[in-house]
């Protein structure tokens, strides 16, 4: 009766389908290696708005609206919209949603928000509470930089372990029917804090959470890493990715041959001056909505484990000497039969 | 098959039970008219911590832990913890949860967060995804004041329409069995923005959202206001309460004889210098966990509609000239047979 396996994972009986996705990215992301997978590439990262914050809301709004249109549905058909972002009090999402007449659930998991919102949307469909539920997240380099770090005008030097917040919004619309990639399992993460306190090294702060959630997901489902074509962490970056791979080996999980990090994939780390790679709620959102989903439709990936990762700090917690707790949520997406 | 009624409301088949609640409040709330209903009244609003932010996390952590203990359960028994607060990046909740080994879903709905988290917890139980799910929220006068308004040390004069952020944390633990108040319906709200832009008059900004959600809930369920013993909005305050009552009359819903606002109830508005009343995520959380729940257990209230209300702005959105979007989420709680 209870739709659960193991300790932290739910299984879906009716297999919520991802019936459409939409990715909107900024110019820099549109020059990266995944450019061909994005639906909309902005020429101007202000999207014609007067502030970067308004721009982020505008981009998020576009992703949501276009995602609904792509599925040939109307706003009124959508039972729930689950969204979140990095801005204080979720204003990017709140203002993106303001013009929409859809019941709204605001969520915050820092950069883990895409998997968090997608997992909740899957539970809403799998719990028979809705016909359609939409999950969306966004981030913007210029809103994040000035909120979390320094005014852009300062032109501060960036540390080698720093990451570049993705300007982009991703939306994924779940429904009950149709032949689409579907969500089979959702593993909700726990907060993990191993004492990392450098806000310019978030990959290291989030890696233990990614390790914990991947390990727990595999234990709960009885799957092996090789049961997945792709295991994709959200935005650990180059450094956090190395840590994750290494730590998982200590638990005898070798994910090397199928492991990607959305933050590493989205930019050309050698040419695009992003240090360890991309970050932000929008990072795993657009990589999943774009690259991963489209490759699943093509049959290239049959089973993907999305593990978005978040660093749960604020400038206040940092200034008060706190360490950086991390969290990771995992969603298993499948299409076209078992991969092996 | 779909557990829905009307346009925005889900109904629960297995009726998730609220098996325990916990309310922790500050000294000022402990001097108010509801003092006898709170479980823990702090002597010191820092709770022995070095900053108000750490104090808020500490209070939230106590509410969660004591709520689990009261139900004779252990941390490990709880499948989901859904929590949120007003602080940037939800740090009050994130740090409250850090020491707990419970899968964590962070939510943000400003002061609507108690009904939002409680509604999600109910859906998680009603969707058969968990045996136990805990919803918790917190707020703190001193963290909110310095984050949203002015440094406490300034001693700014407060406007007549302003409200006083409640120092407190409430937790409600849902389970599947037992003879306890249960959740029958959850109505998830939409964002409503009627152009109010004064951050010292949040009641007016949130009232249209409360009206919309109450109206929709009654339409969806086919209920009349008189089917409820109590309709309790979250923290509209004296002014917002008047607006809500008046606007609902325009739709022919007279809620007067059963309408309370948690922000009006928690303080003595004449003596406690709080202007329009209490506010903050903690407000409806402690009033529901304390006053409402305990009166339901006693049989005094048989059907209660909790309608927590949130103002979805940030200091940045305000400084950029934005208006204040509002949202309200409703949860119907019942116990001991129909009230009429």
B218-268 residue pLDDT tens: 999 999 999 999 999 999 999 999 999 999 999 999 999 999 999 999 999
Q: Do A106 and B108 touch (CB under 8 A)?
A: yes
CA distance B63 to chain A (A): 18
In a domain, A273, yes or no: yes
Q: Cβ A3–B128 below 8 Å, yes or no?
A: yes
Domain-ending residue, one of A175, A196, A224: A175
Q: Is there a domain that residue A237 lies in?
A: yes
CA distances from A170 to A213, A248, B82, B137 (A): 23, 29, 24, 28
Burial of residue A150 (number of CB atoms within 10 Å: 0-12, 13-18, 19+): exposed
In a domain, A80, yes or no: yes
Residue range B106-127, pLDDT digits in tens: 999 999 999 999 999 999 999 9
Residue span of the structural domain in which A160 resides: 4-175
Decide if A316 and B102 are in contact by the 8 Å CB cutoff: no
Whether the predicted pLDDT of B43 surpasses 50: yes
Instruction: Work out the pLDDT band at B75, boundaries 50, 70, 90.
Output: very high
Residue A71 lies in a domain: yes
Residue that finishes a domain, picked among B122, B144, B175: B175
Q: Does B320 sit within 8 Å of A88, measured CB to CB?
A: no
- Chain B residues in contact with A325 by the CB 8 A cut-off are 94-95, 98
**What average pLDDT score do residues B319-336 get?**
96
Average pLDDT over residues B139-157: 93
Q: Identify the pLDDT of residue B337.
A: 64
B267 contacts B166 by C-beta, under 8 angstroms: no
User: What's the maximum distance between 2 C-alpha atoms anywhere in chain A?
Assistant: 57
- Give the CA radius of gyration of chain A: 18
- Best mutation target among B79, B127, B213, B307 (most A Cβ atoms within 10 Å) is B127
pLDDT for B339 equals 42
- Among chain B residues, CA nearest to A185: B129
Phi/psi at B109 (5° precision)? -140, 30
Task: Using CA coordinates, name the residue in chain B closest to A213.
Answer: B103
B86 to chain A: closest CA residue: A89
Q: Which two tokens stand for residue A243?
A: 């840590």
Closest approach of A260 to chain B, Cα-based (Å):
24
Residue at a domain's end among B138, B160, B175:
B175
Q: Do A104 and B316 touch (CB under 8 A)?
A: no
Q: Which helix (H) or strand (E) element contains residue B133?
A: strand B133-139
What is residue A6's predicted lDDT score, i.e. its pLDDT?
96
User: Which chain A residues contact residue B100 at CB under 8 A?
Assistant: 190-191
Say if the Cβ atoms of A94 and B315 lie within 8 Å.
no
Verify whether the Cβ–Cβ distance B129 to A10 is below 8 Å: yes
Q: Would you report the helix, strand and coil content of chain B in percent, each value rounded to 5?
A: 40, 25, 40
The helix (H) or strand (E) run that includes residue A243 is helix A237-250
Residue A191 has its nearest CB partner, among B86, B94, B320, at B94
Residues of A with Cβ-Cβ distance to B88 under 8 angstroms: 88-89, 314-316
State whether B139 and B221 are in the same domain: no
- The reported pLDDT for the residue numbered A339 is 42
Q: What is the mean pLDDT of residues B33-46?
A: 98
Q: Distance from A271 to chain B by nearest Cα, in Å?
A: 32
Residue A86 shares a structural domain with residue A224:
no
In a domain, B339, yes or no: no
Contact flag B105-A103 (C-beta cutoff 8 Å): no
| Residue A165 shares a structural domain with residue A39 | yes
Cβ–Cβ of B130/A2 closer than 8 Å? yes
pLDDT band at B340 (very low <50, low <70, confident <90, very high): very low
Question: Are B162 and B219 in a shared domain?
Answer: no
Length of chain B: 340
Rounded Cα distance between A23 and A287, Å, is: 8
Same domain for B145 and B23: yes
For residue A330, give the DSSP letter: E
Q: Do B107 and A110 touch (CB under 8 A)?
A: no
CATH of the domain at B307: 3.40.47.40
Indicate whether A188 and A166 sit together in one domain.
no
Whether residue A193 sits in one domain with residue A171: no
The string of pLDDT tens digits covering residues B274-314 is 999 999 999 999 999 999 999 999 999 999 999 999 999 99
Residues B166 and B191 in one domain: no
Of A8, A53, A123, the CB nearest to B320: A53
- Please, which residues have CB within 8 angstroms of residue A138's CB and are 6 or more apart in sequence? A56, A57, A59, A60, A63, A83, A85, A92, A93, A96, A168, A169, A170, A281, A282, A285
Sequence-ordered list of residues with C-beta below 8 angstroms from that of A298, at least 6 positions apart, any chain: none
The answer to whether the CB atoms of B190 and A126 lie below 8 A apart is no
Q: State how far residue B36 is from chain A, nearest Cα, in angstroms.
A: 33
Nearest Cα neighbor of B230 from B175, B152, B303 is: B303
Intervals of chain A under pLDDT 50: 339-340
**To probe the interface with B, which of A60, A86, A89, A208 has the most B CB atoms within 10 Å?**
A89
To test the contact with chain B by mutation, choose from A53, A103, A199 the residue with the greatest count of B C-beta atoms within 10 A, namely A103
- Which residues of chain A neighbour B325 with C-beta distances below 8 Å? 94-95, 98
Asked if residue B340 is part of any domain, the answer here is no
3-state secondary structure at position A228 = coil
Number of domains in chain B: 2
| Residues B138 and B194 placed together within one structural domain of the fold | no
Angstrom distance (rounded) from CA B129 to CA B121: 10
Cβ separation of B193 and A313 shorter than 8 Å?
no
A161-184: pLDDT as tens digits: 999 999 999 999 999 999 999 999
Nearest chain B Cα distance for residue A189, angstroms: 5
**Inter-chain residue contact B189 with A103, CB threshold 8 Å:** yes
Give the model's pLDDT for residue B268.
Answer: 98
Please report residues of A whose CB lies closer than 8 A to that of B103. Answer: 8, 188-190
- The verdict on B42 and B167 lying in the same domain is yes
Contact B314 A131 (CB under 8 A): no
Res A340: pLDDT: 40
| In chain A, beta strands by DSSP E | 4-5, 9-11, 17-25, 40-41, 80-85, 104-106, 133-139, 164-165, 168-175, 182-187, 230-233, 259-261, 278-279, 303-311, 326-334
Q: Is residue A124 part of a domain?
A: yes
Cβ-based contacts of B116 with chain A (< 8 Å): 105-106
> Has the ipTM of the complex gone over 0.85?
yes
Report the chain B residue with the minimal C-alpha distance to residue A115.
B105
**Chain B residues inside the 8 Å CB shell of A110:** 89
**Residue B279 per-residue DSSP state:** E
Could you give the 3-state DSSP secondary structure of residue B147? Answer: helix
Within this chain, do residues A139 and A286 fall inside the same structural domain, yes or no?
Answer: no
Residues of B in contact with A91 (CB under 8 A): 312-314, 316-317
Handedness of CA A246, A247, A250, A256 (dihedral sign): negative
Contact B53 A97 (CB under 8 A): no
B51–A320 C-beta distance less than 8 A: yes
Same domain, B286 and B201: yes
Closest Cα partner for B210 from B243, B185, B183, B184? Answer: B243
Q: Do B95 and A317 make contact, defined as CB atoms within 8 angstroms?
A: yes
Chain B residues near residue A318 by CB distance under 8 angstroms: none
Question: Is B70 part of any domain?
Answer: yes
């Amino acid at each position: 009766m209870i739709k659960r396996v193991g300790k932290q994972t739910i299984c879906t009986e009716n297999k919520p389908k991802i019936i459409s996705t939409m990715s909107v990215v900024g110019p820099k992301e549109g020059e990266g290696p995944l450019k061909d997978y994005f639906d909309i590439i902005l020429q101007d990262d202000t999207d014609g708005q007067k502030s970067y914050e308004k721009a982020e809301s505008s981009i998020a709004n576009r992703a949501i609206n276009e995602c609904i249109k792509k599925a040939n549905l109307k706003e009124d058909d959508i039972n729930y919209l689950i969204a979140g972002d990095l801005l204080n009090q979720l204003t990017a999402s709140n203002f993106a949603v303001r013009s929409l007449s859809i019941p709204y659930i605001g969520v915050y998991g820092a950069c883990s928000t895409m998997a968090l919102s997608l997992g909740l949307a899957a539970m809403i469909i799998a719990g028979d509470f809705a016909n359609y539920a939409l999950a969306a997240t966004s981030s913007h380099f210029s809103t994040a930089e000035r909120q979390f770090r320094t005014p852009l005008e300062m032109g501060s030097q960036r540390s080698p372990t720093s990451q570049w917040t993705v300007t982009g919004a991703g939306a994924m619309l779940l429904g009950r029917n149709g032949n689409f990639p579907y969500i089979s399992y959702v593993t909700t993460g726990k907060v993990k804090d191993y004492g990392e306190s450098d806000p310019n090294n978030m990959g290291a702060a989030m890696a233990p959470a990614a390790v914990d959630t991947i390990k727990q997901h595999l234990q709960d489902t009885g799957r092996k890493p090789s049961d997945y074509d792709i295991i994709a962490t959200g935005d650990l970056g180059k450094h956090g990715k190395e840590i994750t791979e290494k730590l998982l080996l200590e638990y005898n999980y070798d994910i090397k041959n199928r492991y990607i990090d959305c933050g590493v994939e989205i930019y050309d780390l050698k040419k695009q001056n992003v240090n360890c790679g991309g970050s932000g709620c929008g990072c795993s959102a657009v990589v999943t909505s774009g690259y991963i989903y489209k490759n699943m439709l093509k049959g290239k990936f049959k089973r993907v484990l999305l593990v978005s990762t978040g660093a749960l700090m604020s400038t206040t917690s940092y200034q008060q000497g706190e360490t950086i707790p991390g969290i990771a949520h995992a969603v298993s997406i499948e299409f076209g039969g078992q991969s092996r």
